[in-house]
Every structure is written in C-alpha cells, then in structure tokens.
Structure 1
C-alpha cells in the first residue's frame, strides 16, 4: 500500500512570490521562449503553428514549482466537468445527435479514494474501449486538449465503423507529484485497469496508452503486467490487449542524447524540465535505485536492459509510438519502440517520427479543437486495431 503525502497549502509569502513571478518574470520569459521557438522553427523551415505554444509551455514547466502550478490550475476532475458541460451545451446548440447519444458526465471512484475514472463516450453502449493516461510531467493536471483528443481520435472513430460499434474512453485521474511519488501512479493505473476488466471489458476490446508522463505510466503498466511489481496488485489478462500507444513517451531519466542537444530550445520541454520532473517522481524513492540495479524497468523502461520488455506479445498485439523530430524526448521514444520490436517479433510495432512536430503534437491539436495530422493518424491507427484486424 502507498502513502499520499499532501504538501501544506501555499503560505502567504509563497503566494506573494507566485504573484511576482506571474506578473513580472513569466511575461519576460514567455517573450524570450516564444520568440526563440518561432525563430528556430522558421530557420528549420517548419510550419510555425503551435511553436508559440511550445514557448508558453516551457515557461509553465520551467518557471514554477509543482505546488505553484497546481495552485493556479484546476484539478483533472474539475477540468473534465467544465469540458463536459461545454461540449454538451455545444452539442445541444448544433443538434449533434452523435455526441448527444454518447456524452454525459460519468465519474467512477476507485478503491483508494484518491483516483477515479472519468468517462468520455457512453460506456453502457460501447463495444470498444480506450484506457487513457494523461501527461503533464506528473505535476500538471489533464487539460482540455487531452479531452478533445480522446473525443476526436477515439469516440468519433466509431462514426466510420460498422453499425452497433461504439468507443468509450476511460480517463484515469491519478495523484500528482509531489503528493504522490513512484509507484503511487502505477498502483492507481493498475487499479483502474483492474476495475475495467472486472466490469466485463475483454482485453481484446481494450487499448491503453498516454502521452509524455502518461506514456511513461503506460510503459510502467505494461511492465507491471509482464513483471508484477511487488508493491502493486498483479493484473492477470485472459489474452493480450488490442493495443497500446505512447505519444512522445518519457521513458528514460537520461538527458544526454542527441535529441536533447538538437531540440533544447525549440521544444516545450528542456533538459532542465525533464531532470526536474524526474526529481519530483523519483527523488528520495530508495526502491527505485534498487530496482534499476536489478534490471527492473518499471519506472524508466529504457534505462535497463532491453530484455525487460521481452515477452510483451503476451500483453498486447499492437504498439504505436509517435515522436516529434523537434522534441527532446525523440531518441528515447525511438529506442523504446525499437526495443519492443526487436525483442517481440510477434508484436506489430508502428513507429512514427514526424519531422515537423515537437512534443505531444496531438494534445496541441486538441487544445486548438482541430483534427490535425496527428489526430487523424491516431484515429486511423485505433480504427485499424479495433476493426481492420
């Protein structure tokens, strides 16, 4: 069993410091970061759309502590509630019958009382399911871009499927750092998956995955199914999952690969941000060092021998990894996909390296309410997994 160590609320002095940073420091950093991201993108001949957002994201992750970010950011469940109300209102205004039949506020609490499942799509009529693990460096809550992504890439994929087929997405709300450190999130992700399986969902009708830190949590969960973590309840599958995906996955604690050097100043992440996120998740966690020395890769799958991922064909039939050519996590995502492919010849691995994209492009498309190329690629992949096998 794990412990949640909630930090105290921000003191009055900390709030003054946060206001000063928001009012004076952050705007200057935003101007610098946005200008630099756009200039590098222009020099490299890249489409400029979303590179300004990369600069803004760098300010949030690089200039504020986890506690400060969480102070001014709504929780995952609050964002979900607001998004669902807005989406339903729009569906009623436009008389969107497809969405009106499928969208409703639907939250299921999990046994620990800290985590929950937030549903997008009608789980009672669905025949296919996606278990979604959101990113945010384990310190930022889910955002509307994640929810739009789930709606557009998964729920609306059913519109082109045969009659009677529907997709529902189970979004995990998990405990953020620093209140919860590794393996708290793995325990919650495993409990969420066990809940879905107990509800009658067959692994062959289920895809799991996430972005960035959610990609890390996906790798943790796959590793746990394959090699049960001693502190987390084991999960037994009666057959392999339909598929697993990882968008811009964070699967290594190292920040010295070529992509970190090439893309340090154009991506929304930086070596500093990644190292800081590692500290939030793993600093002071004594078992992590012991696990790594034994070749156990639950926390960071790429930082141990590739044999850790051998046998994954018993866990999933398909794996989809997509990374941006302009992101710092590019190389570790490629290594993750290639290791799975090499060690598991019976697993169909799709690896996409998109040269025009930086970190987590599909999430940025969702924030823009846009069916962009990343969203369309994801929808095509999940449609193939569910209906074209």
Structure 2
C-alpha cells in the first residue's frame, strides 16, 4: 500500500457522495470559469484544462484528502505512464522509504533530480509532471549526449509532516552521489513546492537542519538549478495575491490552505527550510559554492508571483551572477506544466527557452 493510499482509506461513503454531488455542479461552474478573464488569451483546450483545475480547487466542501483521493496515488500512475510511452519501469526504493522514479534511462553520468509541485499534499501527476519530464528528456537527447531524469516521489502532507519531504530529498541526493553522480553533473529542479524544496535542499547543505540526517559533503557545486513558479513565500499580503486571485488557475485561498497544512508542526528552526524566503539573507551567503547557475520561470498572472520574483531577484541573484528569471506573459502558476495537462506541451515559447538553457548547461558540462 502506497503512502498516499494510507491516507485515502478514510474516505467514507458520505464523502464519496459529496464528491458526486459537487460533480453535478461541474457544467455550470466550468462554463463560468471557461469564459473568465483569466482564459481570454488562451486556446480552448488550455481554457478547458485550467477551468477544470480551478473548479477542483474551489469546491468549498472538499478538503485535501478528497482531492488526493480523486487524483490517486503515484504508485500506479508512474508504471502506467512508463508502459504507455514504452519506457522501462525504473524505481529506486531506498532503505528509509524514499522513492525515486526514472523517466527514461537510468544513468548516473548526467542527471536532473526533480521535485514535483502540489503544495506538498498532492502527488506526482502523469499528464503534467511525468509528461513534462519525458519531453525534456527526449529533447536533451537531441541537443546533448543525453541526461537522466529522476523524480522524487515524496511523502505527502498532512499524513507526513514537513520536513519529511526535505529528509527524502536529502536521501535522494545522498543516493545519487553514492551511485557515482558528480555534483558538477547534477542539476536540481522542481516546480511550485518542488521549486521551494530545491532551495531548501541547498540551504540544508549550507546549514544542516538538525532534525533530519546530515547532508552529504559536496566535492563541487551542483551544475545548476531550474525552477518553475517556486513557491518560496507564504506571504498572502503581497500585491500579486490580490491582483491575480481571479486570473491564476489556483485561487489565493487555496495557496493559503496548502501553506497552513504544510506548516502544521513545523518549528521555528525548520521554518526557513519550508519557506526559503523566511531565511535570513546572510544564510544564503556561500550559495555560489553550492550551485553554478540558476534558471527560474514565473507566471505573470500567478498568485505567488511577487514572492517568487523577490526571492530570485534578491538573495539568489545577489550570490549567483548567472541567474536567469523569465516572466511568462499571461502565465499562470506552473504554466509550462499546465500546457502539458491541456495537451499543448512544447507549444510554449518559454518551454523552448528552458530547453535552450538546459542544453547550454549540459553542453557546458561536457566541454
């Protein structure tokens, strides 16, 4: 039984009825969302996909357990995706329970370690996360000598409190280094909460968090870090929280709810590792010794926009001169991945800018 399935056993008949009753409202709510201001500049497929996501996020009688139940566990999703795309099912199960899924060949010469988004409470998804990683893997085979992509299937809140997810990210890093991966050939990446986890892992390397195992000693800085809509700040008073509440695919209240769930039981000492923007500026001194270059993509109309931009343009750019921040015009939260969910993956100009950056980064590694 998977970690998520353990949390799904409590779904009662009454809750299942509630799910069905809410779905009765789907046509009306869906049409309203479809013709909203947020979807004016989108294709019909993307408008439909984003409207469905917003519908799922705004059901007042649903809680995160219900959403998790509907999305299902990563356990069957990954092998189904691999088989559908004629990929080997390659899962690394570590002694501490940490799970890693390879999207494409398992290789240790050049690797992208990916942390998925979902507010720490939703699973790795086939239509967005896995499809996105598979597309990146195929494109880099064309432009470089190929790269291994491995996704961390971390435990989910509220059943597993933070910093469980950071402990598993650290275990994944230790595992890859023990397999012979050179940090200079390793790129850390993630979207939304996974983007925050990317920086949390680097903060742990610089300032080990006492409540989880110690980080490995790096023989060299990571090759790079690439993040999409990094959810590094829970500050609900920033302008973008109000400006973009009705434009983003996820409303402001949902971010607040997920932040509340993720923060449960988190101590003051652990807080900067959950919400990297909370870390004192001086804590980021030495980041240039941990990572070589940074790429960040942020959506113009996403709710957490200002928190992401302030962090990347602040403590990150201050230490990493080679920092690229791309603002996606009319882009929602994790816009690139939403495009894959809508069947439009690879059609975004910003997707190709990311491909170009990754290709340059790994070609730089091979020089």
TM-score (norm 1): 0.85
Tell me which of 104, 108, 132 is aligned to 1:121. Answer: 104
Aligned-residue offset at 1:8? 5.0
Question: CA–CA distance in 2 between the matches of 1:146 and 1:241?
Answer: 22
Cα distance change on mapping 1:151 and 1:31 into 2, 3 Å: same
Tell me which of 147, 152, 158 is aligned to 2:141. Answer: 158
Cα distance change on mapping 1:222 and 1:26 into 2, 3 Å: farther
1:234-256 deviation digits (Å, cap 9, x = unpaired): 22211100001110111111112
8 A Cα contact 2:232 2:311, kept in partner: yes
Question: CA–CA distance in 1 between the matches of 2:106 and 2:207?
Answer: 30
Structure-2 residue corresponding to 1:276: 257
Aligned-residue offset at 1:116? 0.6
Structure-2 residue corresponding to 1:93: none
Cα distance change on mapping 1:41 and 1:61 into 2, 3 Å: closer
Aligned-residue offset at 1:41? 4.2
1:57-114 deviation digits (Å, cap 9, x = unpaired): 12222323211112222212321111111111xxxxxxxxxxxxxx31101102222x
Aligned-residue offset at 1:337? 0.8
- Between stretches 348-357 and 54-63, larger displacement belongs to 54-63
Structure-2 residue corresponding to 1:349: 323
Question: CA–CA distance in 1 between the matches of 2:234 and 2:334?
Answer: 18
Residue 314 of structure 2 is aligned to residue 333 of structure 1:
no
1:334-363 deviation digits (Å, cap 9, x = unpaired): 11111234431x541110111131111211
Q: Size of the alignment, in residue pairs?
A: 355
Question: CA–CA distance in 2 between the matches of 1:133 and 1:286?
Answer: 20
Question: CA–CA distance in 1 between the matches of 2:306 and 2:179?
Answer: 38
8 A Cα contact 1:66 1:177, kept in partner: no
Structure-2 residue corresponding to 1:299: 274
Structure-2 residue corresponding to 1:310: 285
Structure-1 residue corresponding to 2:246: 265
Specify every segment of 5 or more residues in structure 1 that has no aligned partner in the other structure, as ranges: 89-102
1:311-330 deviation digits (Å, cap 9, x = unpaired): 11111001111101111111
What does 1:142-157 align with in structure 2 at a 5 Å threshold?
Answer: 142-144=124-126, 145-157=128-140
Tell me which of 337, 340, 363 is aligned to 1:366. Answer: 340
Structure-2 residue corresponding to 1:91: none
Structure-1 residue corresponding to 2:92: 108
Question: CA–CA distance in 1 between the matches of 2:156 and 2:243?
Answer: 30
What does 1:1-389 align with in structure 2 at a 5 Å threshold?
Answer: 6=7, 9-22=10-23, 24-36=24-36, 39-42=37-40, 46-48=41-43, 50-63=46-59, 64-88=62-86, 103-113=87-97, 115-124=98-107, 127-144=109-126, 145-161=128-144, 165-235=145-215, 236-283=217-264, 285-287=265-267, 290-291=268-269, 297-344=272-319, 346-367=320-341, 368=343, 370-372=345-347, 373-388=349-364
8 A Cα contact 1:152 1:375, kept in partner: no
1:359-389 deviation digits (Å, cap 9, x = unpaired): 1121123221531223212211111111136
Question: CA–CA distance in 2 between the matches of 1:13 and 1:120?
Answer: 38
8 A Cα contact 1:312 1:340, kept in partner: no
| CA RMSD of superposed structures (Å) | 2.1
Cα distance change on mapping 1:47 and 1:18 into 2, 3 Å: closer
Query: SS state of the match for residue 221, structure 2?
Result: coil
Specify every segment of 5 or more residues in structure 2 that has no aligned partner in the other structure, as ranges: none
8 A Cα contact 2:90 2:106, kept in partner: no
Query: SS state of the match for residue 222, structure 1?
Result: helix
1:204-240 deviation digits (Å, cap 9, x = unpaired): 1110111111112112212111211111112221110
